[in-house]
Amino acid sequence: MSEHEFIRIDRLSQRFDLSDPWIARLISRRPKQFLNAVDNVSFNIEKGKTYALVGESGSGKSTIALMAVGLLRPTGGSVLIDGHNLYDRTQSQLEHRRTRRRLQMVFQSPYASLNPRWRVGNILAEPLRVFSLTDSQSAERRRVHELLEQVGLSQSDAHRFPHEFSGGQRQRISIARALASRPEFIVCDEPTSALDVSVQAQVLNLLKRLQNDLGLTYLFITHDLAVVRVMAHRIGVLKSGRLIEEESTQSLIESPQSEYTKMLIRSAPRISRGTTGISFT
């Protein structure tokens, strides 16, 4: 293990049981059925770098995201955070929480991932309370204000509800919430696919600036290769739960090896091609 490596995903698998109820299986004499959503995937991410997972819907991107952040127990393999096994049952509750604080997630839809009945200040203070990170009310308030400013919102926004914000601003709130516990690693699951193009640029630039300022490590999940090109240091291509290709961004996009990756890159719509350009088939 190199000293710069922050997270190591080692032979990770997730198998979902899709079988009928046992009595139906008995009558129809069908065996159990399984779906290998993630199949023996291994990769690691260096500290302060962005690793992007790309692939079509159903390729297992989001399942890996959930396992990497500790929300879904894998059926095989392990996730090592700075050497600590995230799913080690022998670890104490306390140790486990200590590791969990270092991992956060930004979800796809800022409309569904913020509690509509909580004020923004409360949403941002929840992680602080869960991990007991501030020792007084005033310290808590200070930290909330600091977080809002970090993502380009103003202090007075703490008193407002999520519905008073636009999609892009809501995604800023999600990012601020993810930053609250001072994590080192953030999983971004399609963070801009619900946003309009002009707002997408703002959120992507914000994520980059935060990475530079705070030295964050990102796992970036997306289907958009154009976004990946400006966001990721390395890319892994997933197909049906398997990692079929992995390279640094530049070489993967400019000289893809597998047919599948070539197809993905070819079908990405591009402005420069114009109407006279190559038709896609």
Partner 1 sequence: MTDILLSVRNLRVVFPHRHGDLVPIDDISFNVKKGEIIGFVGESGAGKSMTGAAIMGLIDDPGIIESGEIWLGDVRIDQLDAKRLIKIRGKRIGMIFQDPLTSLNPLKTIGDQLVETILAHLPVNADQAKRRALIGLEEVGIDSGRFNAFPHEFSGGMRQRVVIALALAAEPELIIADEPTTALDVSVQAQVLELLKKLCRERNASVMLITHDMGVIAETTDRVAVLYAGRLAEIGNTASLLSSPRHPYTRGLIASTPSVEHGDISTHLYQIEGSMPRLDALPTGCSFHPRCQDALPRCRLRQPEVINESVACFLYE
List interacting residues with partner 1 (CB under 8 A): 50, 56-57, 166-169, 196-202, 204-205, 208, 223-227, 229-233, 249-250, 253, 263-265, 267-277, 279-281
| Cβ distance to partner 1 smaller for residue 128 or 206 | 206
| Cβ distance to partner 1 smaller for residue 9 or 231 | 231
Least Å distance, CB 213 to partner 1, is 14
Least Å distance, CB 21 to partner 1, is 21
Q: Is the dihedral of CA 138, 144, 150, 156 positive or negative?
A: negative
- C-alpha radius of gyration, the chain, whole number: 21
Q: Which residues of the chain form beta strands (DSSP E)?
A: 5-17, 34-46, 50-54, 76-81, 84-85, 103-106, 185-189, 217-222, 234-239, 242-248
Burial class (CB in 10 A: 0-12, 13-18, 19+), 269: exposed
Q: Is the dihedral of CA 87, 89, 92, 93 positive or negative?
A: positive
| Cβ distance to partner 1 smaller for residue 44 or 78 | 44
Do you know the residue count of the chain? 281
Least Å distance, CB 57 to partner 1, is 6
Least Å distance, CB 22 to partner 1, is 25
| Cβ distance to partner 1 smaller for residue 14 or 249 | 249
| Cβ distance to partner 1 smaller for residue 140 or 224 | 224
Least Å distance, CB 85 to partner 1, is 30
> Which residues are registered as beta bridge partners of 41?
12
Least Å distance, CB 168 to partner 1, is 6
| Cβ distance to partner 1 smaller for residue 137 or 272 | 272
Among 156, 49, 107, 235, which residue's Cα sits nearest to residue 165? 156
Instruction: Give rounded-to-5 percent helix, strand, coil for the chain.
Output: 40, 25, 35
Nearest 5°: phi and psi at 63?
A: -65, -40
